[in-house]
Every structure is written in C-alpha cells, then in structure tokens.
Amino acid sequence: MSTRSFPLLRYFICLSIISLASVVFTRSASQAIFVNPATDISTSTAKGKQTAVLAGGCFWGMEAVFEHLKGVSDVISGYSGGSAATANYEFVSSGLTGHAESVKITYDPSQISYQQLLKIYFLVAHDPTQLNRQGPDSGKQYRSVIFFANDKQKRVALDIINQLNKTDIFHKQIVTQLLPLKGFYQAEDYHQNFIDHNPNYPYVVVNDLPKLAQLQSQYPNIYKK
C-alpha cells in the first residue's frame, strides 16, 4: 500500500517520522567507513561509463539524490526484479510482480566509484533496515535491493554491508537484498525527474528534500547542483 496518491495524508504521516529518520541518517553519515581499495571498482578496474541499478523505496527521491552527485551523468526511474509484461506502475503498485521501484545510474568511475555510490545509497538515499517498506510506503515494490550486474559489484556490496553490520551504525541488521540484474524497465514519463517538476509536492517536501539538503551539507565535495 502506498500513500503517494494521497498527498495530504502522506504529508502528516511523514511529519511523524521525519525527525527520527533525520537522526538516523545524520548519525550514519558521520562514520568513516568504506575505505577498501582492494574491492572497490574504480579507474583501475573499470573504464568508460558504468551503470548501477539500485532500489530503496520511492524512486522519486532515489533519482534526485543520485542526480546530484558529481560523476553521475544520468539517472532513470524504473522497475527491476520482475518481467517486462508487468513493468508498469499500475501492476508494480500491487506488490505482486517481483519488481521494485528502482533507479538506473550512469556514472564515470574516474570521478565517482561504485563504492561511493553505495555509500550514498546506504547513508543518505534510504534506510536499509526497513523490510519491504520505506517510510510511509509499504509493499515489496519498496524493498531495499542492489541489483548487481557482475561479480565485482556483488563483492563491493557485500563488503559494505558487512562493514555496516559490524559497526552497528543503524543498531539493526541491514535487510538489503543482493540480486542479479536481469532487466531494467524505464518507468512512465511522468515519474522521470519528478522532484524537479514538482518541488512543492507534499511528499517531496517532507520525505525527499531533507535528503538532498543532507547530501549537500555532509558531502559537499561530491555534490553538484
């Protein structure tokens, strides 16, 4: 079930959780982790443009966060985890298709690494300890998933998850799934760049704009306007 179709209801629900979410994200982002060049995918192991497919709740906010990273050239909202036949918003919203609302990120590994993308994914873009939900949105379509394209991406993701669980940053175990990428299907046009087109939408104001402010404040070296 999603309250995205009911903006005023969603607004008041989000007000009740935003303070707690901000505390979690701020505490997490202050930790020094993910310095493991042995497993990272950087200029030494990847050449040219690369892609990453990630899911972590509503794709509106996920898309906006990654669009503001230096080295990222494109972010597309879409669906992954299910079949092409059910890759549309009406079907995916049922939570029965296997799809998760996802984003496909195109980036330059000479400017930003896959490891850095995952750092932002875990510490800013969403809460990886929420099972089959994200904030006020519930259902498997809002689950936390890393769709890895190859073994290198899988190793990096596992390494980061293990680090986070050992440091107990979230005080809960991470529930993020690691699944092989079998397909990514672009969402409807009205979902693309949703926050740019609807910056005053109540859901966006309460649930997503604080993430963008946090990204700019805590990661100014990789933030782009």
Q: What is the sign, positive or negative, of the torsion defined by CA atoms of 68, 114, 173, 181?
A: positive
- Contact between 141 and 92 (Cβ < 8 Å): yes
- Residue 68 and residue 91: Cα distance in Å, rounded? 30
Three-state DSSP class for residue 184: strand
Start-end of H helices in 95-140: 114-120
CA distance 88 to 86: 6
Name, in order, each residue with C-beta under 8 angstroms of 189's C-beta and a sequence gap of 6 or more. none
- Which amino acids are annotated catalytic? 58
Of 130, 116, 217, 109, which is closest to residue 177 (Cα–Cα)?
130
Beta bridge partners of 179: 147
